[in-house]
Structure 1
Amino acid sequence: MTDTNNSPLEGAVLFYSNPEPLDPALHGALGVNPTDKPYAFVAQTNIVPLTVTEFAAAALSYPIIFTGENRQPVVVMGLRQGENLYVSDAGDFRADAYIPAYVRRYPFVFADDKQNQRLILCIDRGAEIVAEGGQNPLFVDGQPSDYTNMAMDFCNNFEQERLRTESFVQLLKDLDLLDIREAAFTPRNPDGTPGEPQKLAEYYAVSEDRLKALPAEKLAELRDNGALGQIYAHLVSLLGWDRLIALAFQRQAEAPASVN
């Protein structure tokens, strides 16, 4: 996480080092350059926030878990902090993996201007793709360009999905469905016998037992409002821990041998 004490953003925001509110006077000559590796920056983290409407798509690629006091849903992309098994050393994102909207909106983000009760579109001046005379200008004749307006629309949609996600998580809390769970891995000894289990992570997940114990009318309500489908997408995604372990072994096998 980054230090944003001098930023208009409330709190630290993953990936953003220097977000500034867009201003034609300050950013009139700025643009965003296209790159063939636009998501290389994701290699620095093993978890990325997710909105609830992305659960089904993301479940095909990653475990979806809930973390922290706010029970923020995130996808797990690596087994260790600072490691991402879906981004190569060259900065290539796995072609078959879902890319969360949180990542796709970069280098744009909304700041919460609580004093004026509004959201302000910001851009990360620390992003390498943001430069003077960039190929996609932020402003044309002092007005937001089509590129900037598209970014605004995307961030608006993301904000709506973020609020929807907060409501979904609150519903899980109200029904007391979240429980602490562990991800573990049991290695094999050289003789083929199981080794000592190794704890990979501790996180919050929906308890299937608590879900089944809900009254029939509450289950029907969850089905009708779409929450039940998202819950099952989350539960199915937890099978993805095995995929992460396999990817970790694959990366280890592909790593060059260390030189003594």
Structure 2
Amino acid sequence: MSDASQPGALPLFYRDPQPLSAETHGAWRLRDGDAAFAADTAFAPLVVAEIAAAARDYPVVFSAGESAQPVAVLGLEQRNLFVENGRWADDAYVPAYVRRYPFGFVATVNPDGFILAVDAASDRLMQTGDEGAPLFDGDQPSALTQDAMAFCRAFQGEAEATRAFGEALRAQGLLIDRRADAVLADGRKLGLDGFQVIDTERFANLDEAVVVEWHRRGWLALANFHLASLERFNALLTRQGKAGSAEPAPKPTKSKKA
């Protein structure tokens, strides 16, 4: 579970992100699709506004990179246990990062600027024909594209708040490395590493001034949602068991000293 923000790396799911333009994509259409594109990933990025909802269904941890990106753990191997036959489980929250696909924002030359893009490699996009909803009405964005723009703009705003939370966690030295292990009934071993969690002892001993500030900013609640979500590793194992029994329950263990 590495940091996806490395220079030159494409964002998760995206293979050919292109800035949308009427000149290039004027005839393109988007047809209905499923979540098959997310079937082979064991994690999905989260923003702070959805940590509470995601924590009810997934372990929420942090990437080990500089960004301290919160992520939902979706499986114990290179597989999403919440997607079956292209359908996301009805009883589980779908992260906003997944819901916005194949749209997204890409940075412009202006370091503070972003433009709406689409993954041209998505099999939902039709370059010709009448199937699906149009991306443009003439030279203007269609209602579909305008909705995508609004969704991605809101997501980008939350991304800024998410970075601030991650920076605060690092500034207080709260994040420590962890890994989760399980042994399948057939003897296969599964291991998930490269993620971090909040150290409960350090969290309990935050300075009073920091506690007050974090309470006002909502960060105390986010930290507690994260810590409570770690119990979801057991539920994750139950899902794994339906696809192939595993025992015992994976326990997040310290992989090295912070």
Structure ID, larger Rg: 1
Show the 5 A alignment for 1:1-260: 11-35=9-33, 38-70=34-66, 71-81=68-78, 83-88=79-84, 90-115=85-110, 117-131=112-126, 132=128, 133-185=130-182, 199-252=191-244
Q: In structure 2, how many angstroms separate the alpha carbons of the residues matched to 1:187 and 1:116?
A: 47
Q: What secondary structure, in the 3-state scheme, does the structure 2 residue paired with 1:162 have?
A: helix
User: By how many angstroms is 1:216 displaced?
Assistant: 2.2
- After TM superposition, the runs of 4+ consecutive aligned structure 1 residues lying more than 6 A away are 186-189
Q: In structure 2, how many angstroms separate the alpha carbons of the residues matched to 1:64 and 1:156?
A: 23
AA matched with 1:101: A
Q: In structure 1, how many angstroms separate the alpha carbons of the residues matched to 2:205 and 2:63?
A: 24
Q: In structure 2, how many angstroms separate the alpha carbons of the residues matched to 1:118 and 1:198?
A: 41
AA matched with 1:78: G
Q: What secondary structure, in the 3-state scheme, does the structure 2 residue paired with 1:61 have?
A: coil
Deviations for 1:197-240, whole angstroms, at most 9, x for unmatched residues?
97543521011100111122321221121000000000011101
Q: In structure 2, how many angstroms separate the alpha carbons of the residues matched to 1:204 and 1:42?
A: 23
Q: TM-score, normalised by structure 1?
A: 0.84
User: By how many angstroms is 1:159 displaced?
Assistant: 0.4
Structure 1 gaps, min length 5: 2-8, 190-194, 254-260
Q: In structure 2, how many angstroms separate the alpha carbons of the residues matched to 1:147 and 1:57?
A: 26
Q: TM-score, normalised by structure 2?
A: 0.85
Range 56-65 or range 213-222, more displaced: 213-222
**Alpha carbon RMSD of aligned pairs, Å?**
2.3
Q: In structure 2, how many angstroms separate the alpha carbons of the residues matched to 1:155 and 1:173?
A: 27
Q: In structure 1, how many angstroms separate the alpha carbons of the residues matched to 2:23 and 2:101?
A: 22
Give the number of aligned pairs: 236
AA matched with 2:132: Q
Deviations for 1:161-187, whole angstroms, at most 9, x for unmatched residues?
111100000000111111122323477
Q: In structure 1, how many angstroms separate the alpha carbons of the residues matched to 2:117 and 2:136?
A: 13
Q: What secondary structure, in the 3-state scheme, does the structure 2 residue paired with 1:98 have?
A: coil
